[in-house]
A = this chain, B = another copy of it.
């Protein structure tokens, strides 16, 4: 293979496949060998290393524009997806390992990029290279393009580095004109087949290349069928179709003002341009936006000799997976249609047959296909998704790629491949998409379902929820009383909605991102949440919402997919989660290589229990404030906030203290023997206050204050930028009595636990430190309370006191901060917000999403840590901290803690642990193992 394709010069010195035609239309390229002077790319033997090209080529930086494949050789290989697209790279790979691939060439993605940057101009030099590519195909097959007795037809297919099924354009049967039609009829003796191909080509070319309305062409066929009383397309005779072709040529002229081009080189150039353009068509752009496909240069274009599955009764087409993509079972999962083309299978017009039908009708082809399956699996060492065509009893492979699979299948296949000796355990671990394990933990919507998708919002809390629409907490309660499932739909949620939220299956909000109130509460409660659905228009008065023109009323059923952000009409069927033995085996293997510890973010005993089940090695973040949002407690919290002085605050806090103590005792009991990191009160106080006047009145009455006092507190606590305001340790220093109460509850609970034989290992964490002096002063206060309780309880518990690193300044001065900290826990949510200057709630679904689409940020920095910016600060933080305390314990408790790429970064930076939501623990465990393998760390498989 050419080692540096972009740096080599693609000219003049190419060996290519020699013609060895086997008779009829497009022949097998097998064994074809030819040397073509003018072909632009070098075909090297797979084992032959570099061609002589490098030595012969003039110096310069001209990129290779066109990569040839066919005849057991190829310029490219499977690793060159960025340059050749997925399809082109695998065509090259298959050709090189001797599989029966029709010969062809791939125009690189760079040429597509050059087409656009050059102002939609065909890039200089490309036309010559394409001509050379055609010559290569001609010589491979002994056919000629656009003339001669054995004319060559080609397909022109898009193929980007990432799969974008159906988004871009394809032109088939290119090369047909009045002359080649006649020659092909003479060659095949099948006029009907040839005219059918010609009428398809004119229609497709008019549509795709000239953007003429497809309907205008299709109507002609409809007229014909009506006039001739035909029921199906296939009833048309050769003469019918010949007449149709003449009419289509007229339609073409009428629509485009030009004659249908007879020069196949003109056809080819126009078709290539059309495929280039289709990269930027609106639906392709929309697809990339929704699927966050970014950083690609453009589409490659594959020009390949046509093969015909519809030529005769010995022809056919098929698609399949080399193993069952749903279960992972080791069976050839394949569908075949005889006398049909690939699109017929995909279109689902006829019911495809099982592979056994092929075995019966064409045992030789069947055996050959089994051979291909074995070759591909052995070569790619993975399950493959393939497309093939049989032309007059000859098998051609048109595509292969690693097959998509469910998480369940991924586990099973990986284990089987190890058993079969194809891969090692490490490779097996690396083959599984760690994030996909989520599927095993949450119920998911049945992939076979075809729901009506109303819109997509921010996928804020995973899972599959179905329920009746309600617009208020009160409605949620009413339905819940009757045992009905509901989905709460709100512009945004607040503390006042908590009760209704707890009774709902999921939440749909118009505003807010992954850190909005709704999202945080959802992940907290294990509810599904789709947030930031900007298109959502709620009319509470008339009790309906509108979404892209569809009206959904209170009581109507919708389905929410918290993993994709999809909002769907009606009840979409779901499948239950399963874990099973494969999961256990993979997790056991992961444990053998993992070095990074995995903890969970959990605030309640129930969360902690779940986390421990999933293998968490401690709690990395207990957010104490969530304990106060509880319906029975929030008013006490409000009393504290509304108190006029420290005495009033202490009085209100005294009511909360026994509850906090109970909370912590529960956590310690669940996590017996494992560390529990407890973050003291963090959010700004205004979050606890009701905003709407009615609730303010209710609350005022409940806690016995004037409603004006609540309003005054709301006004007083209002901040222009609350994220950068009075919260975290700032609250702790201004109102130390709250932190004192929490500390007392923690230490007392630890003593209570120890007295019951539970090993409690609390770690107190102080949030939002920016300056060491904050930590020093707060630490003094906290340590004072710890000492007091220890004295009162007559026993000394050593409790570590550490800090979040979430303000950039804390990372920049981590050497100083470390002097006062027993541990660091990176809060990468806030650290990202402040380092990037981006308010996540405002930006997600807004400019930040647009930024990711435009490739400004290669990936959402709130999903995966921004390594260059935030990662750099983290590196400084760890290094500076450990300069002062070489054994400083360092972890992460931001949401990135459950993201595989971020986990990999944490390993690289020398973290001790990551912490993530309970349901992400298995993902994190596998990802940590994968990172260890990639880093060459860890004790691999004793």
Say whether B725 contacts A843, CB under 8 Å.
yes
- Chain B residues with Cβ under 8 A from A838's Cβ? 724, 770
When distances are taken between beta carbons in the complex, the residues of chain B under 8 Å from A719 are: 839, 842
Contact segment of A218-226, A296-304, A671-679, A864-872 = A864-872
Binary contact track A639-683/B, C-beta < 8 Å → 1, others 0:
000000000000000000000000000000000000000000000
> Which residues from B are CB-within-8-Å of A807?
835-837
Give A808 to B850 CA distance when docked, in angstroms: 21
Query: Interface code A831-851, partner B: CB below 8 Å = 1, 0 otherwise?
Result: 001111111011100110011
Other CB < 8 Å A-B pairs besides A808-B873, A812-B872, 4 of them? A719-B842, A733-B847, A774-B851, A808-B834
Interface string of A859-882 (1 = CB under 8 A from B): 000000010111011000000000
Can you offer 9 A-B residue contacts whose CB atoms are under 8 A? A720-B722, A721-B839, A721-B842, A774-B856, A808-B836, A808-B869, A812-B835, A834-B835, A834-B837
Instruction: Tell me if A850 and B734 are in contact (CB < 8 A).
Output: yes
Report whether A836 and B809 are in contact in the complex, using a CB–CB cutoff of 8 Å: yes
Selected from B720, B837, B847, the residue in CB contact (under 8 A) with A734 is B847
Residues of B contacting A725 with CB < 8 Å? 839, 842-843
Residues of B near A866 (CB, < 8 A) are 809
Nearest-neighbour CB distance to chain B for A880, whole angstroms, equals 10
Structural contact, B856 and A813, CB atoms closer than 8 A: no
Q: Within 8 Å of chain B (Cβ to Cβ): is A122?
A: no
Q: Does A768 contact B (CB under 8 A)?
A: yes
Q: How far is the CB of A457 from chain B (nearest CB, A)?
A: 17
Map CB proximity to B onto A691-732 as digits: 1 under 8 Å, 0 otherwise: 000000000000000000000000000011111111000100
Other-chain residue from B723, B726, B809, B869 in contact with A846 (beta carbon distance below 8 A): B726
A855 → B minimal CB distance (Å): 7
Cα of A837 to Cα of B720 in the assembled complex, Å: 13
Q: What copy number does this chain have within its complex?
A: 2
Residues of B within 8 A of A722 (CB): 720-721, 839, 842
Q: Are A847 and B813 in contact (CB under 8 A)?
A: no
Q: Which of A808, A842, A851, A866 has the most CB of B within 10 A?
A: A808
Q: 9 closest Cβ contacts across the A-B interface? A: A724-B839, A721-B839, A809-B869, A807-B837, A719-B842, A773-B856, A721-B721, A725-B842, A721-B723
* Nearest-neighbor residue (CB-CB) of A841 within chain B: B720
Indicate with 1 or 0, residue by residue over A170-213, a CB within 8 angstroms of chain B CB atoms: 00000000000000000000000000000000000000000000
* Nearest CB of chain B from residue A414's CB, rounded to whole Å: 37
Given the interface pairs A734-B847, A856-B777, the reply to whether A724 lies near B837 with Cβ below 8 Å is yes
What's the minimum C-beta distance from A292 to chain B, rounded to whole angstroms?
16
CB-CB under 8 A for A724 and B774, given A808-B834, A837-B808? no
CB pair A720–B723 under 8 Å, yes or no, is: yes
Smallest beta-carbon distance A60→chain B, Å: 24
Give residues of chain A (102-129) contacting chain B, Cβ–Cβ below 8 Å: none
Contacts of A777 in B (CB 8 A): 854, 856
- Total residues of chain A contacting the partner, CB 8 A: 49
A740 contacts B by Cβ under 8 Å: no
Complex CA distance for A646 and B839, rounded to whole angstroms? 26
Name the CB-closest residue of B to A850: B734
A830 at the interface (CB under 8 A from B): yes
Would you call A857 an interface residue if the criterion is a C-beta within 8 Å of the partner chain's C-beta atoms? yes
Kindly state whether residue A816 has any CB partner on chain B within 8 Å.
yes
Chain A 278-313, CB-CB to B under 8 Å as 1, else 0, gives 000000000000000000000000000000000000
Shortest CB-to-CB span from A702 to chain B, Å, is 28
- Contacting residues, chain B, for A808 (C-beta < 8 A): 808, 834-837, 869, 873
Q: Does A265 contact B (CB under 8 A)?
A: no
User: A residues engaging B (CB < 8 A)?
Assistant: 719-726, 730, 733-734, 768, 770-771, 773-774, 777, 806-809, 812-813, 816, 830, 833-839, 841-843, 846-847, 850-851, 854-857, 866, 868-870, 872-873
Q: Which residues from B are CB-within-8-Å of A771?
A: 836, 851, 856-857, 869
Residues on B with C-beta less than 8 A from A873 are: 808, 812
Q: What's the Cα separation between A812 and B868 when bound, in Å?
A: 8
Q: A707 to B830, alpha carbons, bound, how many Å? A: 37
Interface centre among A720, A847, A850 (most CB of B within 10 A): A720
CA distance A373 to B721 in the complex (A): 56
Q: Give the Cβ gap from A311 to chain B, nearest Cβ, in Å.
A: 50
| B856, A837: Cβ atoms closer than 8 Å | no
In the complex formed, the residue of B with least CB distance to A728 is B837
**A726 and B830 contact, CB distance less than 8 A:** no
Contact A837 B869 (CB under 8 A): no
Residue of B nearest to A837 (CB): B807
A728 to B167, CA, bound (A): 34
Residues of B with C-beta under 8 A to A856:
733, 771, 773-774, 777
Residue of B nearest to A684 (CB): B842
Q: Measured between alpha carbons, how far is A835 from B808 in the docked complex, in Å?
A: 5
Known interface pairs A771-B857, A830-B837. Does A869 touch B724 (Cβ–Cβ under 8 Å)? no
CB distance from A30 to the nearest CB of B (A): 47
**Nearest neighbor of A774 in chain B, beta-carbon distance:** B856
Per the bound structure, the CA–CA distance linking A809 and B857 in Å amounts to 12
CB distance from A711 to the nearest CB of B (A): 15
By beta carbon, the residue of chain B nearest A838 is B724
Docked CA distance A847–B727 (Å): 10
Please tell me if the beta carbons of A770 and B724 are within 8 angstroms of each other in the complex.
Answer: no
Shortest Cβ distance from residue A868 to the other chain B in the assembled complex, whole angstroms: 5
Of residues A734, A770, A830, A854, which shows the largest number of chain B Cβ atoms within 10 Å of its Cβ? A770
Measured CB to CB, the closest approach of chain B to A268, in angstroms, equals 33
Complex CA distance for A15 and B299, rounded to whole angstroms: 92
A209 to chain B, nearest CB (A): 30
- A721 to B, closest residue via Cβ: B839
- A726 near B869 with CB under 8 A, answer no
Asked whether B734 lies within 8 Å of A839 as measured between CB atoms, the reply is no
Q: Which residues of B contact A809 (CB under 8 A)?
A: 835-837, 866, 869-870
Measured CB to CB, the closest approach of chain B to A278, in angstroms, equals 23
Tell me which residues across on chain B come within 8 A of A830, comparing CB atoms.
837
